[in-house]
Amino acid sequence: MAETKAPRRGSVGGALVLIAVGLVFLYLNLRPDLDVWPVISHWWPLILVFWGLGKMADYFWTRQHPESAGGGISGGSVALIVLLILFGVALARGRHSWRMTHETQAVERQGAESVTAKIEMGAGDLNISGGSGRLLDADFNYDGSQGKPHITYDASGGRGSLTIDQPGPNVHIGNTHNSWDLRFSNDVPLELRLQMGAGEGELRLRGTSLTSLDVNMGAGTLSVDLTGDWKKDVKVSIHGGVGTARIRLPKSVGVQVHATGGIGSIDTHGLERDGGEYVNAAYGKSKVTMRVNVEGGIGTIELDQEP
């Protein structure tokens, strides 16, 4: 007579994980003011740690209890459920740290005849312009997960050194809720160095005393306004994997643009091709020259000369 096999007992771990995930997403739907991405972007390695611990627990349990293999709740499922619960608690108790914080800071010139400014921003929206009555007026909007922007300034020997950075996580997922508005003095010769991971940068530098601009940007959109009647030579370098770079150039000042690397396309208005460069009608004739060098995997470059 054929032996009747007992029905194979399946694991309920997968079902419990689905239930836990569903409860977390339901909670987030009921609380749309919460932003889950700052927590995930900072603590996602714990998923691997908890999953690995669960697998280790399964291994040792199976060795000690071989007759129970294939049934019950797996250690990996338990670990993920615990992790989801911890994430939920963190979201519920830490939501206040992700509310937008608005802060203003000002930096005086302190006798500096020229300034080198270094700006490091992981991700977000960056706006730079002139018109400040001081060396710098800074307006920051940020959330707690990104860290508080930090300004350091030192002036000695007639030169100033300014640094603006933001200690925080190196991994950014989703909306970073990070916006900086920096206004510099029009009267101080300025070397500007910008390091930006991702986002949108708008540099309205018309009317400033810019002497050099060096931009390194990971991904996003970059808009640079260099129009106006410049009194001294200006050197501009743009590097990185920017999606789109829009550069507005002066008409009365000689301009030379050199583009190399994995450039997708170049659209020009008011400039002509001269060998491997793009130049305007004033190039070689005006006393002041603006030289622009673009390198890297930039998708699209738009070069527009002011009317």
Q: Are 301 and 268 in contact (CB under 8 A)?
A: no
Best CA proximity match to 297, nearest among 238, 211, 255, 225: 238
Matching residue, tokens 């611990």: 53
In sign, the C-alpha dihedral spanning 111, 114, 120, 123 is: positive
Domain end call among 47, 65, 98: 98
Task: Compute the distance between CA of residue 19 and CA of residue 14 in angstroms, rounded to an integer.
Answer: 9
Where in the sequence is the domain holding 137, given as residue range(s)? 101-305
> Distance from CA of residue 88 to its chain's centroid?
26
Strands (E), the chain: 101-107, 114-132, 136-142, 150-156, 159-165, 179-185, 190-204, 210-225, 234-240, 244-249, 254-260, 265-269, 272-274, 277-279, 289-295, 300-305
Mark whether 105 and 93 lie in a shared domain: no
Mark whether 236 and 161 lie in a shared domain: yes
What is the pLDDT confidence band of residue 285, given thresholds at 50, 70 and 90? very high
What is the pLDDT confidence band of residue 96, given thresholds at 50, 70 and 90? very low
On whether residue 4 sits in a domain, the answer given is no
Select the more confidently predicted residue: 209 or 12: 209
Look at the chain and report how many structural domains it folds into: 2
pTM metric for this prediction:
0.69
On whether residue 174 sits in a domain, the answer given is yes
DSSP state of 283: T
Over residues 36-65, mean pLDDT: 68
pLDDT at position 156 is 95
Please write the tens of the pLDDT for every residue from 265-282. 888 999 999 988 999 999
Mark whether 86 and 228 lie in a shared domain: no
On whether residue 56 sits in a domain, the answer given is yes
Select the more confidently predicted residue: 5 or 99: 99
Mark whether 169 and 301 lie in a shared domain: yes
Mark whether 242 and 300 lie in a shared domain: yes
Over residues 272-299, mean pLDDT: 91
Cα separations (Å) of 166 from 16, 144, 174, 179? Answer: 40, 11, 18, 12
Task: Compute the distance between CA of residue 159 and CA of residue 153 in angstroms, rounded to an integer.
Answer: 11
On whether residue 150 sits in a domain, the answer given is yes
Task: Compute the distance between CA of residue 49 and CA of residue 80 in angstroms, rounded to an integer.
Answer: 10
